[in-house]
Amino acid sequence: MLNENECREIAQALLSAGNNHRPIIKPSLSYPALEIGDAYRIQDFWAEAKTAGGVRLVGHKIGLTSKVMQRTAQIDEPDYGRIFSDTVYGDGARIDSSNFINARVEIELAFIMGEDVEGPDVQLYDVLRATEFVVPALEINDFRTQMPRTLADTVADNAAFGAVVVGSPVPPCDVNLRWVGATLSKNGAIEESGLSAAVMGHPAASVAWLVNKLHSLGGKLEKGQLVLAGSFTRPVDISAGDVIHADYGTLGTISMSFS
């Protein structure tokens, strides 16, 4: 377990890595005592620094929600990171690749909360009742540390969140959220496809996990916040010049270019 000063040092190093677009040595190598609890404290200090710089906390992303990704990471629960106002883009966005170090993209569903949700013991139906809209989304992951790394390294690195591109919102009652299918194309060729049920059986179950996790750490979801529920495909590497297109069927499409 690390002390407060050590957690602040790591948070500052990760922020600098993101600003300079150069990866740093993974924290677990420099700080062998790093634990998951420390990693979430590092996120807290990261959030403090970001909001002090003038950006807003607008939501959360949830990662490692599928069994295959959990087995790969040798864990038995998801993780989460923060989403800030300067990382949210609309459909058709042209995004500067130089803002990222090692970008990858995934297809997801995002929830926009219509009211505050606070644990403990929140269930899937509580999340659905509190959700105003569901939005198709593309998450851009980024790694600000060298690889390979531990789960604690990933959590400290804001769960590898880089940016998100969101599509058009729909009321959650208008769609069967377990059976949303999507394809992910890069430069006109389909790279990945998946079904939303891969996210913990139902993407709202992922959001319920987040609410209960936040409660254990003294937090909650707030009205208006955006929550990325987790990917239902493997990540796809992207670089400058790539054009990404995601087709969600009845939920519409999203596109972005990486300049």
| pLDDT tens sequence across 130-149 | 999 999 999 999 999 988 88
Q: What is the pLDDT of residue 147?
A: 86
How far is residue 216's CA from residue 64's CA, in Å, rounded to a whole number? 19
What global pTM score does this model have?
A: 0.95
Q: What is the pLDDT of residue 73?
A: 61
3-state secondary structure at position 154: helix
Q: What is the pLDDT of residue 204?
A: 97
Q: What is the pLDDT of residue 70?
A: 63
Q: Cite the beta strand spans of the chain per DSSP E.
A: 57-63, 79-84, 88-90, 93-95, 104-113, 131-141, 161-166, 181-186, 189-195, 226-228, 236-237, 243-247, 253-258
Structure-token match 């493997």, residue found = 234
Residue 121 has pLDDT above 80, yes or no: yes
Q: What is the pLDDT of residue 66?
A: 75
Q: How far is CA 81 from CA 92, 127, 187, 244, in A?
A: 24, 19, 29, 23
In this predicted model, what pLDDT tens digit does every residue of 12-36 receive, in sequence order?
A: 999 999 999 999 999 999 999 999 9
Residue 74 has pLDDT above 80, yes or no: no
For the record, the structure tokens of 69 come out as 């990704």
For the record, the structure tokens of 143 come out as 């790694």
Of 162, 146, 181, the C-alpha closest to 252 is 181
Q: Give, in words, the CATH class of 56-258.
A: alpha beta
Give the pLDDT mean for 58-69: 85
Of 142, 157, 85, 136, the C-alpha closest to 254 is 136
In percent, how much of the chain has pLDDT > 90? Answer: 91
In this predicted model, what pLDDT tens digit does every residue of 39-56 receive, in sequence order?
A: 999 999 999 999 999 999
In this predicted model, what pLDDT tens digit does every residue of 104-117 receive, in sequence order?
A: 999 999 999 999 99
In percent, how much of the chain has pLDDT > 70? Answer: 96
